[in-house]
Amino acid sequence: MSDLQSSSAAARPVRNVVDYELLFDCVHCGLCLEACPTYILTRREMDSPRGRIYLIKALAEGRVDLDRDVVRHLDLCLGCRGCETACPSGVHYGRLIEGARAYVEANHPRSLYDRAQRWVISAIFPYPERLRRLLWPVQLLENVGARALVERALPGKLGAWLSLLPPLNSAQDNHPAAPWPTAKPRADGPPVIVHRGCVAQVLTNAENRNTERLLEAAGYKVIPMARTHCCGALDLHLGNVEQSSRLIRANVRELKQSGAEAIVSAGSGCSAAMAEYGTLLANDPELKSDAQSVSSKVSDLSRLLLESGLSFPKFPCTVTYHDACHLRHGLGVRDEPRKLLSSIPGLRLVEMQESDLCCGSAGSYNLTESAMAADLARRKAENIIATGADYVVLSNPGCELQITAELRRRGAGTKVIHLADFLALAMRG
């Protein structure tokens, strides 16, 4: 999809929905195959990036119909963009699959069950107040000590969905939000906005608060956002072009007024989505230049803290780092978090195998494709446990929930923690 002007994918040929010219960048070399989680697990060409590009091109040229098999191969893609990093030809796979998804959603009749779960994700998750209300019964169960029992008793995917949630009772919240002694925020520091996300505001808001505190400790001036809208990524990845377009436009309008020089999110999926706003609104006469300006300001906590030279007290422990897909493959951030962690006196950083292979979280993928997501979570957990680390540090709340649930299932002692929370712990010594 070249931009969000293509708001109605129904009744339009796929050739006009997917950015057809981009398909020709692929030279079918296959160098991306071993970077693709679904290919690694299935060994099926049609579940590889090259196979999916072939399918999308065949669709665009009218050589295959949009049948259930084609939809299945496209649905199974995590949208992790590991193939983009591996591709020597610079194929923009993320844009291709998002376009294909918009076409699928507009033209393929889904089962009632599929439609229901997609509706829940799209109508509730991007809106923190709705999500809070939905979670209220879970909190009640937790307060009376019955949550684990209900998790085990629920049929189908429901129990698995519930097990992904962190403890909702704040007394059990293991995210350190307590402040540490720090310099007073500088009123004249470079202005930065922390985009608080949607689900993250409800489930992992301490990460937002710690991100802000760390930036203030590093000399930045944190500007509050008047109103935070979901970044639009959840809907974009589900192919809901119209709702994602609405949310993206609302964010661009909000962010352009802020005067921020940098935009940061504790959710790397949100950061990567905002970095694409310029491309997504490229043909919007009203918001095109504002969207490009927003995208150019997107940064990452690790980058800003490294640039500031922030130092940490001694914090002896062993840490391994998991690369969240959209941070690594969308924003190209790989070394910065590692350098930051290595700068902490007493900390030992050990690399895990396949640190940049998707954990299966992938936005709402672990809800819609739970079997593949569970296989990937198991593989990730094994690689983490093999390091013997005390902590696995990561930069995305979705990965945190997914990996925590799997390690908890195994009774593993490795603590899963967001980079912002970990650095806050380190600051407190």
List 60, 80, 262, 381, residue binding ligand SF4 (CB under 6 A)? 80
List 1, 9, 22, 36, residue binding ligand SF4 (CB under 6 A)? 36
Residue nearer to ligand SF4 on the CB measure, 52 or 328: 52
Residue nearer to ligand SF4 on the CB measure, 294 or 357: 357
Is residue 27 involved in binding ligand SF4 (CB under 6 A)?
Answer: yes
Burial of 104 (0-12, 13-18, 19+ CB in 10 A): buried
Per DSSP bridges, beta strands 347-349 and 221-223 are unpaired
Q: Rounded to the nearest whole angstrom, what is the least distance from the CB of residue 85 to ligand SF4 in the complex?
A: 9
Distance CA 146, CA 140 (A): 9
**Edge-to-edge order in the sheet of strand 221-223:** 221-223, 191-195, 262-265
List 31, 135, 160, 374, residue binding ligand SF4 (CB under 6 A)? 31
Residue nearer to ligand SF4 on the CB measure, 290 or 369: 369
Residue nearer to ligand SF4 on the CB measure, 102 or 319: 102
Is residue 83 involved in binding ligand SF4 (CB under 6 A)?
Answer: yes
Residue 355: closest CA among 37, 38, 32: 37
| One-character DSSP codes across 90-104 | ---HHHHHHHHHHHH
Kindly write out the interface string for residues 44-63 of this chain, putting x where it contacts ligand SF4 by CB under 6 A and - elsewhere: -----xx-xx----------
Q: Rounded to the nearest whole angstrom, what is the least distance from the CB of residue 50 to ligand SF4 in the complex?
A: 4
Q: Rounded to the nearest whole angstrom, what is the least distance from the CB of residue 416 to ligand SF4 in the complex?
A: 22
Helix, strand, coil % (nearest 5) of the chain? 55, 5, 40
List binders of ligand SF4 among 90-119 (CB under 6 A).
Answer: 91, 93
- φ and ψ at residue 218, rounded to 5 degrees: -85, 0
Stretch that binds ligand SF4, among 86-94, 225-233, 264-272, 315-323 (CB under 6 A): 86-94
Q: Are 191 and 260 in contact (CB under 8 A)?
A: yes
Is residue 218 involved in binding ligand SF4 (CB under 6 A)?
Answer: no
